Amino acid sequence: MEETEKYLNGLIHNDRKVVASIYETFFPKVKSFVLDNKGKEEDVQDVFHDSLMYLIVKHKESPLKVNSFEAYFFTICKNIWRRTLKSNKNRVMNHDPAHYVDKEADLGLFILEQKRLEFYQEKFQLLSPNCKEILGSYFNGMSYEDILQELDYTSVNTVRQRVFKCKAKIIQLIKEDRKYRKLKR
């Protein structure tokens, strides 16, 4: 906890030494994650920079309460990289190689998207263990047939019904929450 505060406070106060110490400690891990996941050397610095900026914006907005700086920071780096891969994919699909990059807009959008993801995760945690298991598999792209085999259901139809019910439940939980209206979709 002490370490987390040291890093976060150092960041919002533009403390060069703290930034250097964050680089020394966490850069190799982020680098190997990005390079292992279709990234190039030049992408790593951007991911690292944007993730730190994310922490600064959030911590200035209201003090972040995180148990482990490392785990939280790595999750943010991972999500920023997921977003980059998705944007690159969309650009290729739209035949838009000379895409104009508005860095502040990109980071701003990420901040809102991350907020929405955390809201969804909060609702997901309220589901029954069985719903979490089956929806987790479904959202990760497993077919009904694969889920049938993996989770020992009796028929594809039972799997489908269960997925529909669990999906309906999470949607209900999301819509019932006032925060939902505030989140831009």
List the interface residues with other proteins, window 65-84 (CB under 8 A).
68, 70-71, 74-75, 78-79, 82-83
For residue 142, give Cα distances in angstroms to 50, 134, 158: 32, 10, 15
Residue 108 interacts with other proteins (CB under 8 A)?
yes
Which residue in the set 4, 7, 8, 11 belongs to the binding site for other proteins (CB under 8 A)? 11
Closest CA relative to residue 159, chosen from 146, 144, 170: 144
Nearer to other proteins (CB atom), residue 5 or residue 124: 124
What ranges in the chain are assigned the alpha helix state H?
Answer: 2-12, 16-36, 41-61, 69-93, 103-124, 129-139, 144-150, 156-176, 179-182
Residue 116 interacts with other proteins (CB under 8 A)?
yes
Q: Of 118-137, which residues contact other proteins (CB under 8 A)?
A: 120, 124, 129, 132-133, 135-137
To other proteins, the closest distance from the beta carbon of 97 in angstroms equals 19
Q: Of 42-61, which residues contact other proteins (CB under 8 A)?
A: 45, 48-49, 52-53, 56-57
To other proteins, the closest distance from the beta carbon of 18 in angstroms equals 9
- 43 with 84: CB under 8 angstroms? yes
To other proteins, the closest distance from the beta carbon of 59 in angstroms equals 11
In degrees and rounded to multiples of 5, residue 141 shows phi and psi of 90, 10
